[in-house]
């Protein structure tokens, strides 16, 4: 009996590692932190650590849309602006405007939050690096809680929280260039094709094919914003050609992918020759 339980736990642990719900988002989108929350862009997420009268962390609140609301039960707080892909990050978009986590029964999170408060209060060497890593841990743990809590409606959060569908989603996230077939994704979820198709649409509000294309376009947009060339991106994210990527990109975002790259590297515009212009 004990051997069977151990083997089952080991299998579950391997499955969780292989089909990690969050690693792809942290790999694709860089997370950075700034303590000057008031001067940050309005749409940046905000991280607030509420303090007790003694100066210890009591709760953490993550405002995904950027606007901080006063928390009357906190004696004081430390606020920071978080960049995590903004509106381009589908995981951030899937979260509610406010995600709160009490630290009373979360000793690990409380220790990390207190370390964040200490680093924010004391200027010393390596401070920015420490704040960045601590903020990443705090956001990661908030996301874990959000997934455990689940979602009230269809969407990515509901899909990641689903005990079977998350494996298919993680596979898409980790290997977008693969020529995924519905049967392959259904097998990962341990379902028949028809059951998988129905449950996917019910849980995420879209079809597997549309979700896969949207994720590929999300990756393409991210790569373009970093100044990479369309040809080099297309195959890497799962499109057969640069032309196929350009067509899908224009349908999704309403403009050609070249505009995204020009925005990332304004100097490129000086090298573009427009017919009829001197």
Of 32-36, 103-107, 177-181, the poorest mean pLDDT is in 32-36
Specify the pTM.
0.84
- How many other C-beta atoms can be found within 10 angstroms of the C-beta atom of residue 87? 9
Of 4-18, 118-132, 206-220, the poorest mean pLDDT is in 4-18
pLDDT of 136 reads: 95
Query: What is the DSSP track for 22-46?
Result: SHHHHHHS--EEES-TTTS-TTSEE
Structure tokens belonging to residue 209: 């094919």
101 - beta bridge partners? Answer: 60
In order of 37, 110, 120, 208, 242, the CA distances from 57 in angstroms are 18, 6, 12, 41, 50
pLDDT tens track for 105-150 = 899 999 999 999 999 998 889 999 999 999 999 999 999 999 998 8
3-state secondary structure of 119: helix
In order of 79, 194, 229, 231, the CA distances from 170 in angstroms are 32, 20, 26, 26
Task: Say how many CA atoms lie within 13 Å of 189 toward its Cβ.
Answer: 29
Query: Domains of the chain, with CATH numbers?
Result: 31-149 (no CATH), 159-267 (1.10.10.60)
Walk across the sheet containing 57-63 and list its strands. 32-34, 76-83, 45-51, 57-63, 98-102
pLDDT tens track for 153-165 = 899 999 999 999 9
Residue 55 DSSP class: S
């Amino acid at each position: 009996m004990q051997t069977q339980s151990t083997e089952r736990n080991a299998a579950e642990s391997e499955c969780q590692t292989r089909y990690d719900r969050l690693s792809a988002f942290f790999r694709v989108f860089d997370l950075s932190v700034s303590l000057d929350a008031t001067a940050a862009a309005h749409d940046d997420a905000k991280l607030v650590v509420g303090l007790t009268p003694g100066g210890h962390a009591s709760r953490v609140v993550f405002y995904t849309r950027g606007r901080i609301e006063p928390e009357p039960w906190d004696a004081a707080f430390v606020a920071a602006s978080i960049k995590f892909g903004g509106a381009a990050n589908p995981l951030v978009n899937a979260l509610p405007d406010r995600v709160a986590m009490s630290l009373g029964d979360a000793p690990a999170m409380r220790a990390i939050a207190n370390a964040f408060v200490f680093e924010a209060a004391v200027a010393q060497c390596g401070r920015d690096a420490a704040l960045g890593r601590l903020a990443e841990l705090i956001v990661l743990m908030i996301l874990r809680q959000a997934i455990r809590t689940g979602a009230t409606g269809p969407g990515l959060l509901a899909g990641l929280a689903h005990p079977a569908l998350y494996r298919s989603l993680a596979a898409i996230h980790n290997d977008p260039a693969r020529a995924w077939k519905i049967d392959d994704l259904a097998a990962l979820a341990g379902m028949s094709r028809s059951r998988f198709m129905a449950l996917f649409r019910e849980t995420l509000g879209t079809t597997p094919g549309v979700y896969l294309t949207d994720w590929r376009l999300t990756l393409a947009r991210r790569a373009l914003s970093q100044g990479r060339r369309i040809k080099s991106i297309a195959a890497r994210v799962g499109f057969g050609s640069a032309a196929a990527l350009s067509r899908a990109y224009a349908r999704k975002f309403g403009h050609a992918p070249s505009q995204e790259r020009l925005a990332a590297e304004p100097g490129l515009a000086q090298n573009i020759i427009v017919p009829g212009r001197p």
